[in-house]
A and B are shown apart, each in its own frame.
Chain A
Amino acid sequence: MKIISQTYHSITLTGAPKIPTDLLWDLTILFFGLGIFFLFFVFISRNRLSNKALKVASQKKILAPIISNFLFYETDATKDENYEYINLKIEIRELLKIPFNRQVLTEILLDLQKDLSGDSRNRIFKLYQDLELHLDAFKKLRSWRWELVSKGILELTQMRVLAAYGFIRKFINDKRGVVRKQAQIATVTLKHEGISYFLDTTRYGISEWQQLKLLDVLRNFEDFTPPRFKAWLTSGNRDVVLFALRLIKHYNQNDANKALIELLKHKNNQIKSEAIQCIKDFGVFEALNMLKTVFRKCSVDIKLQILDTISSLGKVEDIEFLESIVKKESNFLVKSKAISAINVIEPDTYVPTEGIDKNITMKNFENNEQDNSTQLSEVMKNKELQPDDSLPASDHKEDSLDNQDHLDPEFEDEIIFDLCFTEELEDILSEFNEEDQEVNYLPLDFLPVVSGEDELKTTVDVKTTENRNTERKENLEEESFKEELETILDKIKLHEEDNINDDEEAQELEFLPLVVETDEEEDIGHIDEITAEDILSLEVNVEEVDTENSETNAQKSIDWMAFVKESEVFDNDLHSKAFNEPQLDENFEDDCSDKENANQITEFSGFSIFQELFRTCDRESKLILLDEILAVGDEKEVYFLKTLLNDADKKVRTKAEIVLKELQLLLSPEIEAEETKDQKETNELEAEHLHSASEIPKAVTEINTVPISNLNNEEDNLTSLKFCFLNDLLSESSNNQSHLFELNFELVETPLEEIENNLKINKNNEVIEKEEKFMSSLLRNIISFPEKFKEKFNG
């Protein structure tokens, strides 16, 4: 039991501390009392402030009109106004005896001077002093409370009390920062010489913000002549020196070069930086040596600034120093800046070296460019002399390859394109030969990158073509491309000779615009010298160009031109007259008139326009055309059909025979007489109408008044297919007299074109069908050509 009693002690629970409830009650009462007192204090203070604000507001309402009256009082006022002014003066004097009123009045004037400008503001300043309110501000200056002193200084400064200058400047070195700063601003603001006094006497530091405010004050001065601030560069106050440097820079005072150079040795980086900035701005060249001298001891920022200054002021002699920095300086920024400075003094001394592929060496293209141009011009000349001769493809290729190493970058792409293009073309041609030997037709539609417009224009206007031709001769790029294409075309011709035996199909190659363009231009230029064979070939070319460009707007012109040529060469006078007249543009009219005067017309019995069409179309087209001959044909077509009786194609031969018989029947005198009657009526009506329409050119009236019956009757007057269509339309129009008026205009502009277009569209469709049928594989190659080209071009 003893052990147990030793092991287990009886646990005595700690009792709750005794709380002195009396003390608690006392504290509660105390804090409650303090709370109430605080609330009471706040309440009292708030009421007091609000009451004061109300009093001020009400007092302002009373004083505002008085002040307004004083401010806007004019000496030339009426008696009543003068009387009122005097009364107000007396009244305000009485009011000002009360300090509160003085305070309110001061507040009013301080507010107003902020919101008013001009003469009113000056009157406020005057009124402030007239009412002796500045005396209150002076009293404040004597206060021991810094806020009151500061307030007094501000008040006197804002109200421009110059008399306070002497009192305020004493506070410039006040130990209380707020008062000191306010005094500094006031001193500088009140008088122009304040800045000098301030810089002379200030002993305390001038903060950056304070410097800005002082500078702002100086900036807003009118008629201010700033002192020479170099005087304060010798100040013992570091901030004064700094501020003086900034003022020197602001006012561009460049008479402190020596001091600036000396300041480069200053221990303070800020001063050094400002001095360097001044040296750079003022172009102090004599400071360069000092800049170099102090360079080593400066911080990185100052070094950068020095290098910047040397780059703007330095000469070639300073490059040595800069290069030594480049070699010795470890800091990347400084090194880069030194290199940059060298490049500024002597451009392109240093070139980029980092990340440059050294394997690439620059090639000299200058000589080659000249060679290229001379070669091209020679080629042009040769071409002019020998239009049919073009450079052999292989030679040209060799030339281009030779020149490839030293080409001007501008031509490089074009030559690469040409090479790729030639290669690709060869591939396509070879593939084509392998795939389809039966089709002796080369789909070279993709070739004419050269616009058809040029071609059309050249056909329309021979004179303009010649001019344009001379312009082209000046254009090397175009010529080179042209030359390239001619080379290609030579290849094509060679290819043609190998593969194409049929003459008609061989002619299909002639539609290539460039070939047509050059040949045609030259042929037109020398039309007098052309043989009959040449004329035929020329005509075919023209017609084929028409076919190619049937969808273009310029089609009208080129068709007409072709038609004019045709009429000139093969038709009689009447014919040429008739078809030259419906002009659609003035240029064309001139050309036609020129050509009419040529009188180089060959008598050609029985030439039909179908003859041309038959040369370029396939069997199906020929059969369709034979149907058309039946519909529109006349004596010429009879002659033509007779020639077709010996055609190689049996179907064509048979069909021609049938059509010939029917056409001969149609052209019998009885039927002809009926047609002539209808057409006569129609023509008479049209002639009347055309006479009334004076605006329509004479040519148009002539075409309508030509008796078509006569044309049909006279065997010598050979009517072309187009005129036959016109004839047909006229006969139709005679049946429907209600539309005669409309038809008249259509005759002028549309029917012939429509017919031509229809014919050409048909031809085009046939050609397209043929192409689609036989050239699907080739088209694929052509479609993929750009992609292949891109791949080759991108390597």
Chain B
Amino acid sequence: MLASLLDYRLQKGGYNVHLAHDGREVKEYLKRATPDIIVSDIMMPYFSGIELVDYIRNELNSKIPIIIISSAGNEENVLSAFELGANDFISKPVSPSELLVRVGRELNKQ
């Protein structure tokens, strides 16, 4: 539900969003296309957010900005994600407006 809500908010913010429901789907999508930015939850079926960061940074050797969403208190996973090369982190509960700002900032860095 959160994904669809954020999808709607980002689309309303002017972004073209591709929504994937699990990590495997993301992996398949990345073989076909290269997005400008990835917003991913850490807890995903088949392929976690940390694995996704690792895949993008170390296997694809891509520098796509990655924003990780995780529940507050999940510090260990967040640190792991940052070590692997995640660019930013937002804790749940998420403010859609904040996400929009962070996405814009990461894209402006490129």
Contacts and interface: CB of A to CB of B under 8 A. Distances in A.
Contacts of A60: 1
B85 interface: no
B1 A112 contact: yes
Contacts of B59: none
B9 A72 contact: yes
A121 B94 CA distance: 9
A119 B98 CA distance: 11
Contact of A116 (B2, B4, B8, B12): B2
Contacts of B73: none
B1 A117 contact: no
A117 B92 CA distance: 8
Contacts of A71: 5
B93 interface: yes
Given A65-B8, A72-B8, A72-B9, A108 B96 contact: no
A725 B9 CA distance: 93
A114 B94 CA distance: 9
B5 A68 contact: yes
Contacts of A67: 5
Contacts of B98: 118
A69 B9 CA distance: 9
Contact residues on B (Cβ < 8 Å of other chain), bracket: 10 to 19
B16 interface: no
Interface string B10-45: 001000000000000000000000000000000000
A348 interface: no
A117 B2 contact: no
A94 interface: no
A119 B4 CA distance: 18
B95 A117 contact: yes
Nearest to B2: A115
B62 interface: no
Interface string B38-68: 0000000000000000000000000000000
Contacts of B8: 65, 68-69, 72
Interface string A52-84: 000000001100110111011000000000000
A118 B4 CA distance: 18
A67 B93 CA distance: 17
A111 B3 CA distance: 12
Contacts of A117: 93-95
Nearest to B11: A68
A197 B87 CA distance: 49
Interface in B63-92: 92
A115 B4 contact: no
A709 interface: no
Interface in A347-391: none
A112 B2 contact: yes
B4 A65 contact: yes
Given A72-B12, A118-B98, A64 B5 contact: yes
Contacts of A115: 1-2, 92-94
A116 B9 contact: no
Contacts of A118: 95-98
Nearest to A118: B95
A60 B93 CA distance: 20
A116 B2 CA distance: 8
A120 interface: yes
Nearest to A113: B93
Interface of B is mostly: helix
B97 A119 contact: yes
Contact of B96 (A61, A64, A65, A116): A116
Contacts of B92: 114-115
Contacts of B1: 60, 64, 108, 111-112, 115
A537 B4 CA distance: 101
A120 B95 contact: yes
Contacts of A61: 4
Interface string A452-475: 000000000000000000000000
Nearest to A64: B4
Interface string A92-127: 000000000000000010011011111111000000
A119 B97 CA distance: 9
Nearest to B5: A68
Contact of B95 (A68, A111, A116): A116
B36 to A, nearest CB: 22
Contacts of A114: 92-93
Contacts of A64: 1, 4-5
Contact of A112 (B5, B12, B95, B97): B5
B9 to A, nearest CB: 6
Nearest to A124: B5
B59 to A, nearest CB: 30
A343 B52 CA distance: 62
A68 B4 contact: yes
A101 B5 CA distance: 18
B92 to A, nearest CB: 5
Contacts of B96: 72, 116, 118, 120
A632 B63 CA distance: 77
B71 to A, nearest CB: 9
Interface string A721-756: 000000000000000000000000000000000000
A120 B99 CA distance: 12
Interface in A519-569: none
Contacts of B95: 116-120
Q: Which of B1, B95, B98 has the most CB of A within 10 A?
A: B1
A711 B35 CA distance: 90
Nearest to A117: B93
A119 B92 CA distance: 14
Nearest to B1: A111
B102 to A, nearest CB: 14
A117 B9 CA distance: 14
A116 B9 CA distance: 12
Nearest to A115: B2
Given A65-B8, A68-B5, A69-B8, A116 B94 contact: yes
A53 to B, nearest CB: 14
A120 B8 CA distance: 13
B97 A116 contact: no
A114 B72 CA distance: 12
A130 to B, nearest CB: 17
A64 B4 CA distance: 7
Given A72-B12, A116-B94, 17 more contacts: A61-B4, A64-B4, A65-B8, A67-B5, A68-B4, A68-B8, A72-B9, A111-B2, A112-B1, A112-B5, A114-B92, A115-B1, A115-B2, A118-B95, A118-B98, A120-B95, A120-B96
30 contacts: A60-B1, A61-B4, A64-B1, A64-B4, A64-B5, A67-B5, A68-B4, A68-B8, A68-B9, A69-B8, A71-B5, A72-B9, A108-B1, A111-B1, A111-B2, A114-B93, A115-B1, A115-B2, A115-B92, A116-B2, A116-B5, A116-B93, A116-B95, A117-B93, A117-B95, A118-B96, A118-B98, A119-B97, A120-B95, A120-B97
Closest 5 CB pairs of A and B: A68-B8, A117-B93, A118-B95, A115-B2, A64-B4
